[in-house]
Amino acid sequence: MTVRVRFAPSPTGMFHVGGARSALQNWIYAKQQGGVFVLRIEDTDAARNKPEWTEGILSALDWIGISRGSYEGPYFQSENAGEHRAAATRLYESGRAYYCDCTREDVQARTGSQYQGYDGYHRDRGLGPGPGHALRFRTPDEGVTVVVDLIRGEPTFENKLIEDFVIARGDGSPVFLLANVVDDMTMGITHVIRAEEHLPNTPKQQLLWDALGVKPPVWAHVPVVVNEKRQKLSKRRDKVALEAYRDEGYLAGAMRNYLMLLGWAPSGDREIVPWSVIEDEFRLDEVNPSPAFFDEKKLRAFNGEYIRALPVAEFVEACQPWLTGTGTIAPPPWQPDEFDADAFAAVAPLAQTRIAVLSEIVPNVDFLFLASPMIDEAAWTKTMKDGSGELLDAAVTAFEALESWDAESLKSTLEAVGAERGLKLGKTQAPVRVAVTGRTVGLPLFESLEVLGRERTLTRIRAARLRLP
């Protein structure tokens, strides 16, 4: 039997990091088993679906390494509507489903509570199809439904506690539960690997598989992803869009690595490992069923490690979208003709060790490409104290006299300027840094001045001096 897994997102918004994790788990499992990864777009919610969301799903999958052409699909759930309706008809004709015209208010009136489920009122009343008649599945009165799950063991559900659930609406359109089952049957899905939140629906879906005469797939419900308060990640509250992390400058390799650690770990005392190791070692039955904490700080640290591991040439290439403002990346504060590729190449090794996401490259190097630095006024106020003007004057005089404009000469010269005034180098260089770069922190100062050049450095220090008493 060929293993066939599926990833079935809905095109109703940005691509959720939890969905990305599920996609990767399905992808790896299919690859390990010599199987097939199927992409199905569940697009039956016409009011919320947008073509751009579908393209966003495909682009996000491309980015994390599940590229177009390497999987089967994408299929669209809406294209299988005829099979959904046919399955509903078979269930009705076989006596496994019946029609009901009860409204929600009718159900509440009979049970006396909005929290009670449907009471089977129309089970044996012989109501036929018609406008406003929903089709309900006839759940067995006795016995249990056992869900064999690779991660959670054998969750068991008493059938008498499962209400006769709706499988087709009053207008005849099948609901998600039935459509999902029929699609998996039609596509020959053998393993369903999905988030824990779908587990409550699983006994209902398994009953549908049984009623339609097809063996259910192997189930595997991976743990829910939660935030630092142990709340399920929410689009409304948390930063969950994969595209947002991509556009901020997270590397695909770091994101893949981190997502796979949400509920699982490679062998040994290690977390940052080559993708080939994850592909080889990942096992579904080793996934921890407990909720998985999505720690953005940890992801950021991961990304910094991945950035520092890049060859410098690859780092320079990876920074280009932020330096040029291409794709979905906002343009930098300098004009295209102000960018100096050679200057950036000179400071790239310094920047590479200091940033955790690629978007941070812009505030680290903008002073090189702007006509004048973007002054952080809070930094200016903090740094430019009494005596700073006289210190800047001395720095200009000393720098003008330099024969060699290199980092070591600049450092020793400014160090001497500070020593004459009883200042350590840190105190001496702070006003110079703000005058030249606009900030109190950034790349190593003297290497930066070397790349910036004598004329531009002196011009900026003089301009800062004019702002002081």
Catalytic residues: 235
The helix (H) or strand (E) run that includes residue 315 is: helix 312-324
Residues 6+ apart with CB under 8 A from 339: 323, 324, 332, 369
Q: Are residues 391 and 428 in the same domain?
A: yes
Q: What is the dihedral of CA 104, 13, 233, 258, to 10 degrees?
A: 150
pLDDT single digits (tens) 186-221: 999 999 999 999 999 999 999 999 999 999 999 999
Q: Are residues 159 and 25 in the same domain?
A: no
Q: Are residues 11 and 67 in the same domain?
A: yes
The helix (H) or strand (E) run that includes residue 60 is: helix 51-63
Split into its structural domains, the chain has a count of: 3
- Mode of pairing for the β-strands spanning 225-226 and 292-293: parallel
Q: Are residues 403 and 454 in the same domain?
A: yes
Q: Which two tokens stand for residue 81?
A: 């509507």
* Interatomic CA distance for residues 118 and 162, integer angstroms: 9
Section 323-334 average pLDDT: 91
Lowest mean pLDDT among 75-79, 118-122, 360-364: 118-122
Residues 6+ apart with CB under 8 A from 373: 366, 367, 435, 436, 437, 438, 460
Structure confidence at residue 62 (pLDDT): 97
Structure confidence at residue 205 (pLDDT): 98
For residues 176 and 169, is the Cβ–Cβ distance under 8 A?
A: no
Structure confidence at residue 263 (pLDDT): 95
Mean pLDDT of the chain: 94
Structure confidence at residue 453 (pLDDT): 97
Is position 242 within any domain? no
Structure confidence at residue 326 (pLDDT): 87
Give helix 425-437 / helix 388-400 axis angle, nearest 10°. 80
Section 343-359 average pLDDT: 97
Q: Are residues 161 and 181 in the same domain?
A: no
CB atoms within 10 A of CB 7: 26
pLDDT single digits (tens) 369-395: 999 999 999 999 999 999 999 999 999
Helices marked H in 234-295 — which ranges? Answer: 242-248, 252-260, 275-281
Q: How confident is the model at residue 288 (pLDDT cuts 50, 70, 90)?
A: very high
CB atoms within 10 A of CB 72: 14
* Interatomic CA distance for residues 60 and 68, integer angstroms: 11
Q: How confident is the model at residue 116 (pLDDT cuts 50, 70, 90)?
A: low
CATH number at residue 182: 3.40.50.620
pTM over 0.85: yes
Is position 416 within any domain? yes
Structure confidence at residue 103 (pLDDT): 84
For residues 147 and 219, is the Cβ–Cβ distance under 8 A?
A: yes
Q: Which two tokens stand for residue 402?
A: 């330099």
Structure confidence at residue 34 (pLDDT): 97
Residue 115, pLDDT > 80, answer: no
SS3 380: helix
Structure confidence at residue 332 (pLDDT): 95
pLDDT single digits (tens) 24-46: 999 999 999 999 999 999 988 77
State the Cα angle at 365 between 352 and 434, rounded to 5°: 120
Structure confidence at residue 44 (pLDDT): 80
Structure confidence at residue 411 (pLDDT): 97
Section 254-264 average pLDDT: 97
Pick from 134, 79, 130, 84: which is nearest to 107 by CA? 134
CATH number at residue 100: 3.90.800.10
Section 85-102 average pLDDT: 96
Q: Are residues 50 and 126 in the same domain?
A: no
Section 122-144 average pLDDT: 93
Structure confidence at residue 114 (pLDDT): 55
For residues 357 and 249, is the Cβ–Cβ distance under 8 A?
A: yes
Q: Are residues 216 and 148 in the same domain?
A: no
Is position 449 within any domain? yes
* Interatomic CA distance for residues 394 and 389, integer angstroms: 9
* Interatomic CA distance for residues 344 and 157, integer angstroms: 62
Q: Which domain holds residue 413?
A: 372-466
